Amino acid sequence: MLTFAEEILLLALDDQNGKIKPLPPQALRYALVGALLTELALLDRIDTDLDALKVINTEPTGDELLDLVLERLASSRTECGTTYWLTELAWHMRDLQDHVLQQLVNKSVLKIEDRKILWVFAVRRYPLMDDREVKEVKSRLRELIMSDNIPDPREAVLVSLVSACQLFDEIFTPEELNRLRPRIAELAKLDLIGREVSRSINEISLAVAASMPAMM
């Protein structure tokens, strides 16, 4: 079974060239952190509300990345909210994307392909070994969004994170997406961490857009 972080990264990966698709500024970084925090919440290691994120169980999960995040949360001397931890972890776990990519390589979902451009510049890509996993994620999301079913907690989380990264463009046609946006927005509100991820990404995008005239 893939983790939230692995599913998000698979959707963000271009099937054709093995590179990350263009996304809103810092979207993938925040979404991956949000995915890890949500995984810890579903494993009853942390609890979150509108004001605070609390560690309630420090027992290791057995997953290297999750345990790294759990240890960092537990070592904090002050109680901070979800938004604080999203930003703190997003900017200090700079190799997070590489870790998740390596996990997918270890699970034989991706393979590593090193190339040289003009025989000088090294480029690493991650082509799919088998597209079964990414097709399964897309199919599951399509079925949920196009139905009136109430999602389980894992599905609600995934919808929220995929929406924050604007990756539903990869799952639905433009016509379908226009029709389904209210349903997506409704489901995306069901997950607290996902809502905070989306808000953080929107704030960064607005800040970047506001800075553009000054840079021109």
Residue 101 · residue 9 · CB < 8 Å: yes
**What residues does each domain of the chain span?**
4-211
Backbone angles phi, psi at 185, to 5 degrees: -60, -40
pLDDT for the residue numbered 208? 64
pLDDT for the residue numbered 210? 66
Angle between the N-to-C axes of helices 4-12 and 96-106, in degrees from 0 to 180, rounded to the nearest 10: 100
**Average pLDDT of the chain?**
86
Cα gap 12→136, rounded to integer Å: 15
Cα gap 172→177, rounded to integer Å: 6
CATH 3.40.50.300, applies to 4-211: no
Residues of the chain with pLDDT under 50: 120, 215-216
- Express the helix, strand and coil content of the chain in percent, nearest 5 each: 60, 10, 30
**Structure tokens belonging to residue 24:** 């809103």
Express each pLDDT in 62-105 by its tens digit. 999 999 999 999 999 888 999 899 999 998 888 899 999 899 88
Spatial CB neighbours of 62, under 8 Å, sequence gap ≥ 6: none
Beta strands in the chain (DSSP E): 46-48, 53-55, 113-117, 121-125
pLDDT for the residue numbered 123? 54
pLDDT for the residue numbered 215? 45
Angle between the N-to-C axes of helices 64-74 and 27-42, in degrees from 0 to 180, rounded to the nearest 10: 80
